[in-house]
Amino acid sequence: MRKLTGWLLVSFACLAMGLAVAIAGRWHDAERWPIRWLEVEGELHRITSAQVRSVVAEQARRGFFVIDIDRARRRVEDLPWVAAASVSRHWPDALKITILEHRAVVRWNDETLIGATGEAFRVAGTDGMQGLAHLSGPDSRRAEVFQRWKKIRARLVDRALEIDALALDARGAWRLELGNGHQLLLGREHLDERLERYLSVYGGLAEITRIKRVDLRYPNGLAVIRHSATEVVESTASTPDASGRRGMPVHQSNPGAQPHHG
């Protein structure tokens, strides 16, 4: 009798537990607690709200309580141009999806883009993307090249000069290409000083046609390489002229002068 009573008690307990699980499961299911709204927030330029809702829809169909929030977030972050995303429940029937997009500011070594904060990312189909400066160099020095680009760009703003490309070669030498067509050879050292030397004669260089390259690796001057000739500009102490302007005189010099390659 005791065995029968014990068996009945165990059976009843199992039945009660099964019923409780069934009720709980029913209470949490998508029919009772559906997600009706997918709210997308963020400044979107490269992707659309429809794309975001599309990748979240499968998880959203599981219902308000059953949805896997982390999996939904990962699906959103797998979209091209998405730097980060957050997904959260909003009672009683909504999901809030907040997007932070990458904002490309330069191209790195052709295949990679760099965002405003220095993060590197790749997006298929961006090979023909216009309006981005091209940075290149060893991957191990990407952050250094990016910081140098930012520094030079800030220095050129008041001259309305744009950077088309900045390259660091395997020897550690820098080359800067400007939107005006001038290619500046800066070498491996004294980069700030050499850039200032170029800016100090920039007004005078406007009088020289067909400039291809400006070699700033000389100790006290620079060489202007044209498509048909080479001119060397010697640096002298700058004094104001009658109008109060300061500048470095530009004149022909010995084409055989050699630059310092540092």
Choice between 243 and 50, residue whose per-residue pLDDT is larger: 50
**Per-residue pLDDT tens over the stretch 99-136:** 999 999 999 998 899 999 999 999 998 888 889 999 99
* Shared domain check, 230 and 110: yes
Amino acid 230: pLDDT: 52
Q: What percent of the chain has pLDDT over 90?
A: 66
Looking at every residue in the chain, the average pLDDT score rounds to 83
Q: For the sheet with 230-234, list strands across it.
A: 120-121, 112-115, 104-108, 133-136, 163-168, 174-178, 183-187, 211-215, 221-226, 230-234
Average pLDDT over residues 209-230: 87
Rounded to whole angstroms, how far apart are CA atoms 96 and 88?
Answer: 5
* Shared domain check, 111 and 218: yes
* Shared domain check, 219 and 128: yes
* Shared domain check, 116 and 95: no
Dump strand ranges (E) for 181-220. 183-187, 211-215
* Shared domain check, 221 and 156: yes
pLDDT for 183 beyond 90: yes
pLDDT for 41 beyond 60: yes
Amino acid 70: pLDDT: 97
Got the DSSP string for 219-248?
Answer: SSEEEEEESS-EEEEEP------TTS----
* Model confidence band, residue 206 (pLDDT cutoffs 50, 70, 90): confident
Whether the bond into 92 is cis, omega within 30 of 0: yes
**Per-residue pLDDT tens over the stretch 225-260:** 997 645 445 443 333 333 333 334 443 334 455 676
Helix (H, G, I), strand (E, B) or coil at 16: helix
Whether 240 is in a domain gets the answer no
Average pLDDT over residues 165-181: 97
Which among 102, 91, 101, 92 is positioned nearest to 41, based on CA atoms? Answer: 101
Residues 6+ apart with CB under 8 A from 139: 109
**Per-residue pLDDT tens over the stretch 148-158:** 999 999 999 99
**Per-residue pLDDT tens over the stretch 64-98:** 999 999 999 999 999 999 999 999 999 999 999 99
With beta carbons less than 8 A apart as the criterion, state whether 226 and 211 touch.
yes
Q: How many CA atoms lie within 13 A of 6 on its CB side?
A: 3
Average pLDDT over residues 164-170: 97
Average pLDDT over residues 189-208: 94
Rounded to whole angstroms, how far apart are CA atoms 6 and 9?
Answer: 5
Give pTM, 2 decimals. 0.74
Structural domains in the chain (count):
2
Which among 140, 97, 98, 103 is positioned nearest to 123, based on CA atoms? Answer: 103
* Shared domain check, 218 and 113: yes
Domain that holds residue 42: 33-101
* Shared domain check, 176 and 67: no
Choice between 234 and 31, residue whose per-residue pLDDT is larger: 31
Using alpha carbons only, give the angle 209, 212, 214 rounded to the nearest 5 degrees: 100
pLDDT for 18 beyond 50: no
Amino acid 201: pLDDT: 94
* Shared domain check, 117 and 95: no
* Shared domain check, 221 and 168: yes
pLDDT for 172 beyond 90: yes
Rounded to whole angstroms, how far apart are CA atoms 207 and 250?
Answer: 10
